[in-house]
Structure 1
Amino acid sequence: MKSILKCAWVMLWRRRLSSLLTMAGIAVGTGLVVLILGISNVGTTTIQNELESMGINGISVSSTGGLTGNCLAVIRTLPMVSKAMPLLIQYGFADVRTERYNIVGCGIDAGADQVISLNLLHGRLLRPEDVNGEAEVCVVDETLAKDAFGRTNVVGEKVAVLIGNEEIDMTVVGVTAADSSLLQSVTSMIPYMLYAPYTTVQFCAGVDTFDQIAVRVNNADNTEAAREMIDSTLKGIDDDIGVLSTENLATQRQHLDTLVSVVSAALTAIGAVSLLVSAFGIMTMMLSSVNERTREIGVKKAIGATKGRIMSEFLTGALLMSGIGALVGMAVGVGALTFACFVLGLHVQWSVWQLGGILLLTLLLGAVFGVYPAHRASQLRPVEALRHDG
């Protein structure tokens, strides 16, 4: 076995430039597959964590005609509903000193933390008197606090908020944690979150309806039944409600997970195709090697080398190229994605089974595409091979 391995290595070393290029192709294909699988794992885990941290659960109620206070009151009386909160989303600006920041003005009710995930760092959340009195107060996320004031505890500071045609000087009463590591890493591309009493946001936007009503049910098993009850009840009390939409967000999460899996599978297939193309390089290189070493093969067979021996040497060479290329590609792929996740503050978890499967697949491709050149070399007749001019 050692002699076969040595002969295979010498064969690759003689044509080291071609061997390196072939192994580089294998490394690129393998690294691409590793990156795609890793990104898929990170994406799936991150999306699930984001949905959890942002409170994407329960039921979301919306309507083309807008939802009124009467709709909210009716939903709150339903037996399976434990909490219902109006949501009004308006895009605007927050001016601090000489800087202007893009914000998502989220109009919420008191007790919003029971419906959506709000992890309070400093101060307090909104109170019933804030909502009832259209108070000019707000809760900001820590990313806005850090970027605008250079610190997280900005309770008591003033922020000039522009929503619609109204600009209001709001007092910061609380700061929430940016639990989403994904959102923290891309804050330059998305607006900051600012929470204010929904009545205040309604005044600024000049509306008296809500965009959505977020609903929590008393038992997760009752979510679909509660959704159907809300749908039928609201359609029966208001003819002007427009097109009503009630969504079970747990189901939406499942659909999103399925979509991520499909996209991941498609991208992995693309990576596998690139690996397959690289494997053709093994066959090309090995066939070229057979042609160059025809006389050498003839000499070996003339002094007693068997067909099996010749075939083993070439097949081992193919496996060496695919194995080395795969290991290099996997190392680069794992290292690159791990470093990127470290910089972005994301968590990546590698599956030994997945990495082992990629290595075995690459070796299998090397063996499959190395069989024909190895077989061709083993079938050379000594006399004809010795006559070859090379």
Structure 2
Amino acid sequence: MNFLESLKGAIQNLKGNKTRSFLTMLGIIIGISSVITMSAIGKGGQQNITGDLKEGGYGKFTISIDKDDEQFRWKYLLEPKVINILKDSGLFKNVSANITTRVFIDLGKRREVVGVTATTPDYEKIDSVDYIFGRGFLPFEYEKGEKIVVIDNLTAQSLFDSGDKAVGKDISFSMSRKNNPVTYKIVGVFKNPLEELIKVMGGKRIPRFFRVPLNTYDKVYDLSKGGYNSIIIESKIPENLANDMKTANRVLEEYSGIKNLYGIETMSNAAASFDKILSTLNMFITFVAGISLFVGGIGVMNIMLVSVIERTKEIGIRKAIGATNKDILIQFLMESVILTGIGGVVGVVIGVSLAFLIGYFVNIPPVFSLFSISLALGVSTFIGVIFGVTPAKKAAQLNPIDALRAE
């Protein structure tokens, strides 16, 4: 019996048991579609969440100072004069203080923690936000230290029902639970930079962000006591980031006369770490979805073993008229591979469709990988071979005389 005859025989047998064949393929279809859907949505969410973070950190780095260093002196604090030294060097695109702290606000009956950033015109260029309502700070507002604030859209919605209603309203917050709150006027509402992540996480915990002018922050919280948390710098040419980090370190070492006093770190490190966490999580979810493929493979083996028992007499007759063990083995393997192969193709179609459908409702564009789709199809065919071998070998090894006696 040649290959084509074995193939025709396998197809005819599967057609003769359409319901059984469909139910057998169902496990593979569910497994493949689950893997592709979860992988595409996972990668789409990962790209959606970390894309802006990576872009935001590209070509930017921060400088901090080790206050516990035995060579540290208070005159080396990160203060305006240090920023002016870096700016006056003309070597960098933008230089700004990098100050972020937490404050407390009352949201209805509960008190929440909010991140507040002391911003400057340079900082707004380095870490720009997308204003939805209102505006950013004006030059004279930076200089005078006006008690004004811009807030994220999710906080605006929580406090005032919508972002447009928030503009022009007053908001109060304090540095600690015990401090008296200070009142600021809201002049703008910007998009929460973690909004996509919040959607993926279910929106139960919402990171909130405020920005106030640096001079305003200084007036209220007195920066002279401890200086800036760090300084943030943007390179003129992002690709020269490594050289610019060394240059900034050299400029500060010349200023202080001390080596290894300042710590320098790229802004993209945090985004890369977060991306790695999400990638691991995505792999885990895809692996869990892939377990259904294994279950589907066991279903294929089970049905093929039942088929061997039902067709024992047929196998005996075929062997009696000259079919070899190899012929029987190939036909049963073909049936198994056809089942899983078709199931794999259908699973890919359903998986892609589901990914687009789910992505539409959760607002996450799915990201498909040709490699993952090819791998899914390859795995489904491989499962057909692996789980079809045992039934096929059992059929091939049947004694013709015993098979002919079977009822």
By how many angstroms is 1:259 displaced? 6.4
Contact 1:111–1:126 at 8 Å: present in 2 too?
no
Asked if 2 retains the 8 angstrom alpha-carbon contact of 1:86 and 1:214, the reply is yes
- Residue aligning to 1:51: 53
Moved more, 32-41 or 232-241: 232-241
Residues 291, 146 of structure 1: alpha-carbon distance in 2 compared, 3 angstrom cutoff: same
Deviation at 1:137, TM superposition (A): 0.4
Matched-pair contact (CA < 8 Å) for 1:36–1:267: yes
The answer to whether the Cα contact below 8 Å between 1:63 and 1:243 also exists between their aligned partners in 2 is yes
Do the aligned partners of residues 253 and 193 (structure 1) sit closer, same or farther apart at CA in structure 2, a change above 3 Å counting? closer
Q: 2:43 aligns with which of 41, 44, 51?
A: 41
Residue type at the aligned position of 1:174: G
Q: Is the 8 A contact 2:169 2:186 kept in 1?
A: yes
Aligned residue for 2:184? Answer: 170
Q: Give how far 1:226 is off.
A: 1.1
Change (3 A) 1:239 1:150: farther
Structure with the larger strand share: 1
Query: In structure 2, what residue type is equivalent to 1:160?
Result: S
Alignment-mate amino acid for residue 147 of structure 2: E
Gaps of 5+ in 2: 1-6, 68-76
The residue correspondences of 1:1-390 to structure 2 (distance < 5 A) are 1-10=7-16, 13=19, 20=23, 23-51=25-53, 54=56, 57-65=59-67, 67-95=78-106, 102-153=113-164, 154-164=166-176, 165-178=179-192, 181-183=195-197, 185=199, 187-205=203-221, 207-208=223-224, 209-238=227-256, 244-250=262-268, 275-276=293-294, 278-302=296-320, 310-327=328-345, 329-330=347-348, 333-352=351-370, 354-388=372-406
SS at match of 1:175: strand
Does 68-77 or 94-103 show the bigger shift? 94-103
User: Residues 57 and 290 of structure 1: is their aligned pair in 2 closer, same or farther, counting only changes over 3 Å?
Assistant: same
- CA root-mean-square deviation: 3.6
CA displacement at 1:158 relative to structure 2: 0.8
2: distance between equivalents of 1:289 and 1:30? 24
Q: C-alpha separation between the residues in 1 aligned to 2:172 and 2:254?
A: 42
CA 1:340–1:206: 2 relative to 1, 3 Å: farther
The CA deviation at 1:28 is 4.6
Shift of 1:223: 1.2
Unaligned runs of 5+ in 1: none
Question: How many positions carry a matched residue from both structures?
Answer: 385
SS at match of 1:5: helix
**How far apart are the structure 1 equivalents of 2:319 and 2:362?**
59
Amino acid at match of 1:8: L
**Distance in structure 2 (CA, Å) of the matches to 1:312 and 1:353:** 29
Deviations 1:41-91 (A, max 9, x none): 214422442215645641122334373333322222333211111121122
Deviation for aligned residue 1:98: 6.9
Deviation of the 1:115 alpha carbon: 0.7
Which TM-score applies when normalising by structure 1?
0.81
- Matched to 2:312, the amino acid is T
For residues 107-150 of structure 1, give each alpha carbon's deviation from its aligned partner in whole angstroms, at most 9, with x where no partner exists: 11134321112223333322343334332101112222233222
CA-CA distance at 1:277 after TM superposition: 6.0
**1:93/1:162 contact within 8 Å kept:** yes
- Calculate the TM-score normalised by the size of structure 2: 0.78
| Deviation at residue 353 of structure 1 after TM alignment | 5.3
Comparing 248-257 and 75-84, the one that deviates more: 248-257
